[in-house]
């Protein structure tokens, strides 16, 4: 679509990011942090991906709705993202406790937006995009907004094509040949396929609303449901009322500089196993999500750390990292890191071996330590000779969690 149309669409849109999730299925790494604030890819936070998508799409009027253990995430947004906007632009966090109209926590995705109705009623934006803060993907959101305008839609849902056998895990849109939604069903047993295809349209939880219609449906829906939710209540209600509900096919989204292997990449990192797998995707030889595409950068707070370094080059005591991400401030001292992600300011001491693992920031690994297929939480110190990931029964006795697929989580 024409660049001027995309730019105009972004200028007349505000964004609201739902970033209050507890991430209970990601326990224990979410015990002390909300899911969007979980580290990802070493130096990033999960929320950096949606905020980077907005920033790169030209959307710089953004409210981030936080809730569970919000202080650290609010501070992170203030110290980093809030600095990168100009006059009339903002990346601003708002939480239930700062809402004078209602002291309650958000009870549903749409209820979270309803609690800040004053923002919607006072904005001069024509469109509101509502996005989840806990998925890993790249998306030019201005293209979805332009599609919404073209269809004269009341709401547009970002949709992911999924095989029919996987559709039972999602909210599925039944669509006609123009991609207008005819029905929306949560986790259907018999999912409808896209016309002339064998795949189904799964909702990604990203929406573009025309502002006036959003205000109208939130007020109407809140009278019926205290726990107002977009998938369960709002979208079915709009279909019932004959509103113009459309899907936007995520596979059609074009990212500058992206290769074909990246097309349609989207991960819900809601479990330990899916979180681990998505991290490991980054260090493939040809990654499905390329962090080295400077035309669509993933932006984050850059710590004032020295470069990562490897020290010692002797037989049996050689500092080396292979097929890995190693962040600033790290020292790999006479040890080997292989197919792993090492967060900022970690130290791996001599004669140790780290394989297929994720270390959060400020982890200290002693000498003669062996770790494989593990996630090590921040500020952990592992003593000399520790072994993790080789004997799961021993890991459990140490108090570590072991997932069914064999990922060991040390907190």
- Nearest residue to 136 via CA among 253, 44, 5: 44
Q: Is residue 46 part of a domain?
A: yes
Q: Is residue 206 part of a domain?
A: yes
Beta-strand pair 313-314/317-318: antiparallel
Q: Is residue 294 part of a domain?
A: no
**Does the annotation place 203 within a ligand binding site?**
yes
**Does the annotation place 101 within a ligand binding site?**
no
* Max intra-chain CA distance, the chain: 73
Give the integer Cα–Cα distance in Å for 245 and 205: 14
**Does the annotation place 406 within a ligand binding site?**
no
Q: Is residue 250 part of a domain?
A: yes
Give the integer Cα–Cα distance in Å for 83 and 100: 26
Mean pLDDT along residues 229-254:
96
Question: Is the same domain home to 147 and 254?
Answer: yes
- How far from the centroid of its chain's Cα atoms is residue 192's Cα? 27
- Nearest residue to 320 via CA among 328, 309, 329, 306: 309
Q: Tell me the pLDDT tens digit for each residue of 294-314.
A: 999 999 987 899 999 999 999
Q: Tell me the pLDDT tens digit for each residue of 169-190.
A: 999 999 999 999 999 999 999 9
Q: Tell me the pLDDT tens digit for each residue of 337-371.
A: 999 999 999 999 999 999 999 999 999 999 999 99
pLDDT higher than 60, residue 97: no
CATH number for 38: 3.90.550.10
Question: Is the same domain home to 213 and 149?
Answer: yes
Question: Is the same domain home to 324 and 272?
Answer: no
pLDDT higher than 60, residue 286: yes
- Nearest residue to 30 via CA among 134, 137, 108, 106: 134
Q: For residue 385, give its domain range.
A: 309-410
CATH number for 394: 2.160.10.10
Q: Is residue 200 part of a domain?
A: yes
Confidence band for 105, pLDDT divided at 50, 70 and 90? low
265, 281, 297 - which closes a domain: 281
pLDDT higher than 80, residue 102: no
* Least reliable range by pLDDT among 19-28, 47-56, 224-233, 393-402: 19-28
Question: Is the same domain home to 366 and 275?
Answer: no
Question: Is the same domain home to 212 and 354?
Answer: no
Q: Is residue 292 part of a domain?
A: no
Q: Tell me the pLDDT tens digit for each residue of 109-128.
A: 899 899 999 999 999 999 99
Beta-strand pair 199-210/155-163: antiparallel
Q: Is residue 258 part of a domain?
A: yes
Q: Is 156 helix (H, G, I), strand (E, B) or coil?
A: strand
Rg (CA), the chain: 22
CB 395 within 8 A of CB 15: no
Mean pLDDT along residues 250-263:
95
Tell me what pLDDT residue 98 has: 47
Q: What separation in angstroms does the CA of 28 have from each of 22, 46, 114, 269, 291?
A: 11, 16, 31, 14, 27
Instruction: Characterise 282 by phi-psi region: left (phi > 0), alpha (psi -120 to 50), beta (else).
Output: alpha
* Least reliable range by pLDDT among 84-98, 193-207, 342-356: 84-98
Question: Is the same domain home to 326 and 403?
Answer: yes
**Does the annotation place 216 within a ligand binding site?**
no
Question: Is the same domain home to 202 and 327?
Answer: no
Estimate the crossing angle of helix 3-11 against helix 141-150, to 10 degrees: 90
Strand partners, 384: none
To the nearest whole percent, how much of the chain has pLDDT over 90?
A: 83
Question: pTM of the prediction?
Answer: 0.94
Question: Is the same domain home to 145 and 203?
Answer: yes
261, 281, 301 - which closes a domain: 281
Give the integer Cα–Cα distance in Å for 268 and 263: 16
Q: How many CA atoms lie within 13 A of 169 on its CB side?
A: 10
Mean pLDDT along residues 246-261:
96
If one counts the domains in the chain, the total is 2
Question: Is the same domain home to 314 and 215?
Answer: no
Question: Is the same domain home to 205 and 333?
Answer: no
Q: Is residue 287 part of a domain?
A: no
Question: Is the same domain home to 8 and 130?
Answer: yes
Tell me what pLDDT residue 4 has: 53
Long-range contacts of 310-316 (CB under 8 A, 24+ apart): 312/350, 316/351
Tell me what pLDDT residue 100 has: 47
What's the whole-number average pLDDT of the chain? Answer: 93
Question: Is the same domain home to 314 and 271?
Answer: no
């Amino acid at each position: 679509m024409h660049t001027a149309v995309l730019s105009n669409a972004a200028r007349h849109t505000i964004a609201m990011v739902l970033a209050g999730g507890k991430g209970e299925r990601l326990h224990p790494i979410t015990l002390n942090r909300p899911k969007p604030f979980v580290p990802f890819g070493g130096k990033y936070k999960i929320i950096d991906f949606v905020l980077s998508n907005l920033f790169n799409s030209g959307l710089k009027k953004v409210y981030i709705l936080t809730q569970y253990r919000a202080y650290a995430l609010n501070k992170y947004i203030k110290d980093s993202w809030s600095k990168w906007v100009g006059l009339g632009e903002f990346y601003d966090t708002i939480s239930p406790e700062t809402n004078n109209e209602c002291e309650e926590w958000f009870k549903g995705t749409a209820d979270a937006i309803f609690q800040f109705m004053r923002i919607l009623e006072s904005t001069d934006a024509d469109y509101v995009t509502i996005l989840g803060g806990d998925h890993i993907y790249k998306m030019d959101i201005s293209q979805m907004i332009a599609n919404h305008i073209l269809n004269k839609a009341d709401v547009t849902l970002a949709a992911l094509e999924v095989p029919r056998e996987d559709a039972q895990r999602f909210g599925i849109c039944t669509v006609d040949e123009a991609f207008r939604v005819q029905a929306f069903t949560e986790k259907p047993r018999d999912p409808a396929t896209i016309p002339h295809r064998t795949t189904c349209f799964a909702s990604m939880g990203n929406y573009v609303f025309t502002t006036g219609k959003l205000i109208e449906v939130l007020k109407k829906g809140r009278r019926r449901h205290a726990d107002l939710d977009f998938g369960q209540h709002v979208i079915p209600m709009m279909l019932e009322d004959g509103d113009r509900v459309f899907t936007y096919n995520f596979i059609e989204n074009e990212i500058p500089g992206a290769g074909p292997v990246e097309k349609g990449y989207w991960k819900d990192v809601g479990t330990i196993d899916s979180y681990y797998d998505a991290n490991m995707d980054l260090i493939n030889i040809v990654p499905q999500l390329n962090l080295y595409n400077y035309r669509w950068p993933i932006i984050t707070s850059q710590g004032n750390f020295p470069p990562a370094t490897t020290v010692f080059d002797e037989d049996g005591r050689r500092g080396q990292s292979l097929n890995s991400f190693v962040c600033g401030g790290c020292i790999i001292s006479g040890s080997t890191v292989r197919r792993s992600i090492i967060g900022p300011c970690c130290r791996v001491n001599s004669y140790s071996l780290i394989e297929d693992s994720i270390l959060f920031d400020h982890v200290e690994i002693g000498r003669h330590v062996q770790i494989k297929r593990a996630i090590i939480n921040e500020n952990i110190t592992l003593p000399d000779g520790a072994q993790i990931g080789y004997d799961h029964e021993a890991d459990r006795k140490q108090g570590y969690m072991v997932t069914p697929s064999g990922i060991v989580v040390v907190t």
